[in-house]
Amino acid sequence: MQDIQIKEYLHQVWKRRKVALAFLAGIMVVTALFTYQQTPIYRASTTVEIGTETPDVAFFQDVVNTSPYGWWSALRYYETQYQIIKSRNLLHKVAQRGLRDSVVTGFSLDVLVSHLQGGISVKADENSRMANIYFDDNDPDRAQKLSILIAEVYVDENLRRKLAGVEDAVNWLNARLLEVREEKAKQEDKLQKYKEEFKIVSLPDRDSSTKSNLVALTESLNQLKGRRIELEAQYNKLNELVKQSERVEDLLGVVASDLLTKLKHDLANIRAQKSQLTHRYLEKHPEIVRLNAEAAEIGKLIQLEVENEVSRLRTRYLLAKAEEDSISKALEKQKIEAIRLDEVNRTMADIQIMTSTNQQIYETLQKKIKEADLSALVRSNNIRVVDNALKPTSPIRPNVKANMLLAFLVGLLGGVALALVLEYVDDTIKTHEDVETYLKHSVLALIPHYETSGGNGIRKRLEFVPIEAPTTVVAEFYRTLRTNVLFLSRTKQHNRILVVSTGPSEGKTVTAVNLAVTFSQVGLRTIVIDLDFRRPRLHTYFRNVNQMGLTNVLVGEVKLDQAITKSHVDNLDYLAAGSIPPNPAEILSSLGLKETLDELSRRYEYVIMDSSPIAPVTDAIIISQLVHGVILVVRAGKTHRRAVVFANEQLKAVSAQILGVVLNDVDIEKSTYGSYQYYKYGYSTYGPDEKKDEKKNEKEELAEEAPAIIS
């Protein structure tokens, strides 16, 4: 099935081969014109080696680039270099040097930069560190010079960037050295001020003196407490109760006052509010935080009030405790002094550490600056030119072979596609398969296209081709039509045959005449009648005028015998249409026409009728009721499917007996009917006697069949 579809597609393309070849030729011509009108472009190539960016000195590795190079870093480095080569900044410098050194003339700076951007390209070798710098130009000399110049500027700029990096590092080191120097001096000054402020000569001695004072004051305070025990019994008891109270609520029960009562009431309210909010909010909610702060503040007030109450109680024994308080104050002062001394010790230690660190940084930076000065003297470059560009001898564009090959492929595929599209949108009946598919009728004959214009300027007649050109393929196919009609008439009396078509110019009149001629050639008395009362043409084929005919018989102007005309062909008469009536449909529907046809059927063995086309008028539909068989003529490649299907449905609607279809004007060379070409060979090899004998045998054979068919 797939092979059949492929063959069908090939056949469709073959039928439209002229269109496909025209499309192919057009594409080829347009491509050739476009190709040869293009300006030749030459390409010059300079090869450079791009080494890895590995610093040559320890300083540069430490200060400028400390990251190790892996595969991904190397790949990014090389891609960066390719972008640098094509960057506008580098090409701008190339243009400046090219104009300055007269390498390129006739360009302004901006125009030359744009020209460089349009012509440069870089291609890397994946298996090495080599890269090719290409430059395309319509001038081969300029392409060579600019390719070399781009490589040179790139190498110089790479070295300049490396030296600039060293210089930037040195500048950074000097700036950092200045900062460290200033910080170092600042810390030293701060240390000196601390010593002066606290009068520190030796920190260990002062620390020992402070500890001795703390021990002496503590011992003296303990002695005083023993002396006042009896005097302050009541105070001590109350003081003990206050100290044992761990919560604020416990303090409220120790002493009593109006302020404590009010503070107790406020604390209860705050806790009640907090209890209500806790069910809706978390601990960090602003309201809960606020209530906690207020509760804490009230707690402090309660604590303060309790202390005040205790202080008031102490007034009773203040004199007894005066000496003890004095000693206590001295002890607290000594404690603060000890704490302050510890802080001074820590601060002094921090200042000394920072001073020592800055000193180390200062010495390291001085060392690196000396190394940087040495590395600046080393002119190390990891990029070098391997091969300078040569002058190109042949252009890379336009590629004539590639363009023409592409044009051929596009034209070929486009032509095939165009042929298939045209075939798809063509809804005409073209083959006997179309007839069988859409009309459900068999094909009685395929009538090939017949060229009526002769080589000497004399027009050849198609209507009498079985007589005038009996050896042609067309004549043979008309005889095939005759044979098929005779076989269809073998069992029934089908001597009245109507030849119709869907529209004009489809060959129904010529088919009717030639069918009648083939019948007469085998000795069958035949008459052909022109029932086209609108545009009669039958009389023109017999070189006669339409003065008297069937319409004159039907209106009673002449007798039937007077209207019948004998033709120049033996056994063949014809009946012209006659005067054109104003009401053809009414005349065709008259009883007189039926009686006339019955009379002609008795006189002739075959009555062949030509009528008007089916699509414009209903004349053929009316006549189909009076005949024994209808032959539908379809012009291949011209008659549209919808029209012929409509005509077929019209005939079926009136139960017309359709014998089959004649596919007319078939282009044998463009169709699948090329196998019928063997007829040409058969007739071209016959001699005169053989032709006469064959004609005689055919006539005798059909004459034997005819009585059985017509009886």
Tokens of 328: 């206590």
Q: Does domain 22-171+379-387 have CATH number 3.40.50.720?
A: no
Tokens of 344: 């001074």
**pLDDT tens across 637-653, in order?**
888 888 888 888 889 89
**pLDDT tens across 585-597, in order?**
888 888 889 999 9
List the one residue out of 376, 365, 434, 418 whose CA is nearest residue 174. 365
Give the three-class secondary structure for 113: helix
Give the three-class secondary structure for 613: coil
List the one residue out of 111, 108, 96 whose CA is nearest residue 150. 96
Q: How far apart are CA 500 and CA 617, in angstroms?
A: 12
**pLDDT tens across 659-694, in order?**
999 998 887 765 555 444 433 433 333 333 434 444
In this predicted structure, which of 329-338, 506-515, 691-700 has the lowest mean pLDDT? 691-700
Q: What is the pLDDT of residue 517?
A: 94
Q: How far apart are CA 597 and CA 28, in angstroms?
A: 63
Q: What is the pLDDT of residue 610?
A: 93
Q: What is the pLDDT of residue 607?
A: 94
Average pLDDT of span 365-384: 66
In this predicted structure, which of 194-208, 308-322, 480-494, 554-568 has the lowest mean pLDDT? 194-208
CATH classification code of 428-706: 3.40.50.300
In this predicted structure, which of 185-189, 198-202, 507-511, 625-629 has the lowest mean pLDDT? 198-202
Average pLDDT of span 282-296: 80
Q: What is the pLDDT of residue 209?
A: 67
pTM over 0.85: no
62 vs 648, more confident: 648
> Per the omega criterion (within 30 degrees of 0), is the bond before 398 cis?
yes
**pLDDT tens across 65-114, in order?**
444 445 677 778 888 888 999 999 999 999 999 898 888 888 899 999 99
Ranges of CATH 3.40.50.300 domains, the chain: 428-706
CA angle 343, 345, 346 (to 5 degrees): 65
List the one residue out of 441, 499, 487 whose CA is nearest residue 702. 487
* Crossing angle of the two packed helices 286-314 and 233-244, in degrees rounded to 10: 170
Radius of gyration in angstroms for the set of CA atoms belonging to the chain, rounded to a whole number: 62
Ranges of CATH 3.30.70.1130 domains, the chain: 22-171+379-387
Are the C-beta atoms of residues 132 and 122 closer than 8 Å to each other? yes
Q: How far apart are CA 337 and CA 332, in angstroms?
A: 9
